Amino acid sequence: MKYNIAIISPKTWIHHSAVNEVVLYFYFMIKKKVDVQISFNQIDFDRINIIFFAWNLPKDAIIPDNSIIFQSEDLDRSTGWMLEGERGSKYVELLNKYKVIDYAEFNLQSDIIKHQNKKFLPLLFCEELQFKFKRENRDYLLFYGMLTEHRKNFLNKIKKYDVKILDASECWNYSYNRDLSIAQSKAILNIHKTDKISKFQSVRCFYSLINNVPVVTQKFQISDKKDYYQESVNILDDLSLESTEKIINDLKDEIKQKKKLELFKSYDSKKIFFECLDTLNDLK
């Protein structure tokens, strides 16, 4: 069994870099057991394709039946542009035709995907994704990503706490500069895109946790089954200054933060990853 991780992206679209670590997570995990490659805009008929950004596929794209869609968007319709118009209709059609892996368990409860050939995959520890930067300065709280009004309002409110912002509109904020900024931060801020979203953005947070950087997050939906993040991150009670102050004080407790990071790394990520992948491959 061989895999092709297919990134579907127009040449000028830089935002595919926002999930670089997720692509590499899949690559390094799969590589532990079988052959895998990463490709751009290429479907390989001799391999099982795991497709990122499937909404960018052309209308006449031919895709093998055993392909898997990595679903990275919010399916509660809070990300309206993703589900509207011709592109949205095509994406929903793909989600209902092929097997799906999703970063968020609660996405799979949406009625948008009608079939049951879908699995939640928690993004956990991966040794190969550890960067080489030293954790020395730790000068600021870091937010990187799209600056929506909801996020701007909160970041403006807490700017007195030394907040560094890397706007996703700058392509260089996805690479070396971003990683160095993570390493030199007190913690990463995970704030929902809008006040209508309540899913934990593991795509943003797992890379920091792998690299021993605490995460401060807005409240999120907690799984009724097993939540892999709840006890590993610092959860704001609300978006008030009082709650922020409390969490900033918690960040000073290095023993407490170390325990959170150790818990995140304690899960058997390889076993969990292949249970998800093998189950999907067994489904017809």
Domains for the chain: give ranges and CATH numbers.
2-122+268-282 (3.40.50), 127-266 (3.40.50.2000)
Tell me which H or E stretch contains 140: strand 140-145
pLDDT tens profile 94-107? 999 999 999 988 88
Residue at token pair 């031919």: 62
Mean pLDDT value of segment 25-54: 97
Mean pLDDT value of segment 259-265: 97
Q: What are phi and psi of 99, to 5 degrees?
A: -65, 150
Are 27 and 5 within 8 A, CB to CB?
A: yes
The overall average pLDDT reported for the chain is 90
Q: How far is CA 108 from the centre of its chain?
A: 15
pLDDT confidence tier of residue 77, bands split at 50, 70 and 90: low
Are 2 and 46 within 8 A, CB to CB?
A: yes
